[in-house]
Structure 1
Amino acid sequence: MKYTQALDIAPGKAICYSGFREGQSPGGVFPTYKEVKEDLLILQHQWKYLRLYDCDKHAETVLEVIQKEKLDFKIMLGAYIVAEANNYGCPWGGSYPEDQLEENKSINLKQIKKLIDLANKYPDIIFSLSAGNEACVDWTDHYVPVEKVIEYVKMIKKEAKQPVTFCENYLPWLDKLKSLVEVVDFISIHTYPVWEYKNIHEAMDYTKSNYYAVADTYPDKPVVITEAGWTTYSNGKGICPSNVSEEFQSIYYNDLVDWSLDTDILTFVFEAFDESWKGSNEALEPEKHWGLFTVSRKPKKVMQDLFSTL
């Protein structure tokens, strides 16, 4: 079953969008209406489908801009759920006091309800919903038990009309998330060959093997890719610096998009713009450099021919 049938959408290019600029961050300073409009006017030339991670002020602004400016975008909107259980296996800290975990359950419930409210407010713009992002994988710092994610999915499906998914690394879908597969309308996977020590020559074969491992396991359930991309810098922690560059990003992006369109697989490229607020304070921190555009909205090599005037 193809994603176009399950989601009732036309084939098209898709990208993850987070509009936080220099000095901005979730929970801090948010992008303005003007800044979001500027971003969307850039993105509308190449992409129809945008993925948003959170039901925060940023998401509200994006939806408002699309509606008021009559822009031709469709949104996958996510609820960002935080830790409800300790994950001592997380290398950067996944343990919390019990009172914090209890408070997080209330935070998550509010987030799910906000997702439902926005879905019902913007039914012509929001085409699908996600109950969370990378909250079940072994290394996450915001671990939520699978059983609780299933509850959230059921809650969303009961009160919103859009198809519902959960966004997670490809590997847990093969075993740990089998019970979740039964309740989502479609599966959303993440695949990052460069994080798994693959070089650019191995990248697309590895991406395809990740995708088909899940798709072949669940032949009756649509599978989309909600994150796949290539960073342009690395400080050497987790990603070898020789494996990343703007040239490699360009190769991977073009190969990924060509394959996705040829095979009718909805693939959200990660990501539109660099995010300087992410990760460590090191300038070459790879988490900061996945964008096809820099944080100042200048096109990297992959986009320079298409956006030469920016």
Structure 2
Amino acid sequence: MKYTKELQIEPGRAICYSGFREGQMPGGKVPTYEEIKEDLLILHKHWKYLRLYDCDVHAEIVLDVIQKENFDFKVMLGAYIVAEANNYGCPWGGTYSEKQLEKNKISNDTQINKLIHLANQYPDIIFSLSAGNEACVDWTDHYVPVDNVIKYVRMIKNGAKQPVTFCENYLPWLDKLKELVEEVDFISIHTYPVWEYKLIHEALEYTKENYYAVADTYPNKPVVITEAGWTTFSNGKGICPSNVSEEHQQIYYNDLVDWCEENDILTFVFEAFDEPWKGSGEALEPEKHWGLFKVDRTPKLVMREYFSNQLVEK
């Protein structure tokens, strides 16, 4: 597949990693060096590529651990850009004061410059850079106009040598992001059949439809999947509880990985570990349960054939 040649990377399994445990969250308490080392010891035998979302303290520690412990990971590092315009269509709130939006623009500039700094600090670890995450889709609460995203992509390209992308739901790439396609080195899409009311037996075919809709529209641009996964619990809001379980996750993961490896499609599975800080305060909130491992780092069904408590190095 063209992405391996054009991006000069080797085939390998990829996963989204965020190490926040009980009582930890972005902007608050972060995982320690030893906690992140423990996570990477779990992941390093099975995955080659990690995706990090933000240039925060968590990301700095992850990169430090990889370097000092000599882990063989390659990282896609993202800048998490926040709202620069109001999105009145967001169902969970996407409106801000003009003063806040101006502050956000300053914050985003800082975030992009931090991304460039880390890219140059860790050139042998960071293999690609993302100018943002789900900031242009219709339902986002951190909406950034496409022209502004293009500005950030150009800033990154001027300051760092790694290939640059933007991570977004598959749908905006088909129309809204056409001008952005010309700027990025490769396209990064997200595909979540379970959020679009697909049953498990429909899931892989729907992911294929999402992928090829974008790939066929831009045949000269590599397309990477930067998020695809299946949650294991739901409170019934947006996802039917009967459509999620560890058994469903196992089926989708195995089907997804087999298809991607057969077709040489770099795909970051969402995600490594459950994150209790996400979403609502309800225990069955689906956002908390996408991990292939529980928050206590024990493997869910999909990973039990590869991992056990005894197999995890401490």
- The runs of 5 or more residues in structure 2 that have no matched partner are none
Alignment of 1:125 with 2:118, yes or no, is no
Q: Shift of residue 284 of structure 1?
A: 0.3
Q: Shift of residue 305 of structure 1?
A: 1.2
Q: Shift of residue 5 of structure 1?
A: 1.3
Contact preservation (8 Å) 1:6, 1:186: no
Contact preservation (8 Å) 1:2, 1:265: no
How far apart are the structure 1 equivalents of 2:266 and 2:305? 24
Q: Which residue in 2 is equivalent to 1:250?
A: 250
Q: Within 5 Å, which residues of 2 pair with 1:43-192? A: 43-192=43-192
Secondary structure at 1:227 match in 2: strand
How far apart are the structure 1 equivalents of 2:296 and 2:33? 17
Identity of aligned residues (%): 80
How far apart are the structure 2 equivalents of 1:147 and 1:5? 29
CA RMSD in angstroms, aligned pairs only: 0.6
- The runs of 5 or more residues in structure 1 that have no matched partner are none
Contact preservation (8 Å) 1:51, 1:76: yes
Secondary structure at 1:251 match in 2: helix
- 1:173-222, CA deviations, whole angstroms, 9 ceiling, x for partnerless residues? 00000000000000000000000000100000000000000000000000
Question: How many pairs are equivalent?
Answer: 310
Q: Shift of residue 7 of structure 1?
A: 1.3
- 1:208-262, CA deviations, whole angstroms, 9 ceiling, x for partnerless residues? 0000000000000000000000000000000000100000000000110111111
Q: Shift of residue 38 of structure 1?
A: 0.2
How far apart are the structure 2 equivalents of 1:139 and 1:6? 32
- 1:48-103, CA deviations, whole angstroms, 9 ceiling, x for partnerless residues? 00000000000000000000000000000000000000000000000001100000
Q: Which residue in 1 is equivalent to 2:238?
A: 238
How far apart are the structure 2 equivalents of 1:303 and 1:16? 15
Q: Shift of residue 6 of structure 1?
A: 2.0
Contact preservation (8 Å) 1:136, 1:168: yes
Secondary structure at 2:275 match in 1: coil
Where do 4+ consecutive residues of structure 1 move more than 4 Å? none
Q: Which residue in 2 is equivalent to 1:10?
A: 10
How far apart are the structure 1 equivalents of 2:151 and 2:202? 38
TM-score, normalised with respect to structure 1: 0.99
Q: Which residue in 1 is equivalent to 2:307?
A: 307
Secondary structure at 1:234 match in 2: coil
Q: Which residue in 2 is equivalent to 1:267?
A: 267
Q: Which residue in 2 is equivalent to 1:198?
A: 198
- 1:274-306, CA deviations, whole angstroms, 9 ceiling, x for partnerless residues? 000000000000000000000110100000111
TM-score, normalised with respect to structure 2: 0.98
Q: Within 5 Å, which residues of 2 pair with 1:16-31? A: 16-31=16-31
Secondary structure at 2:201 match in 1: coil
How far apart are the structure 2 equivalents of 1:243 and 1:5? 38
- Letter of the 2:210 partner, please give it: N
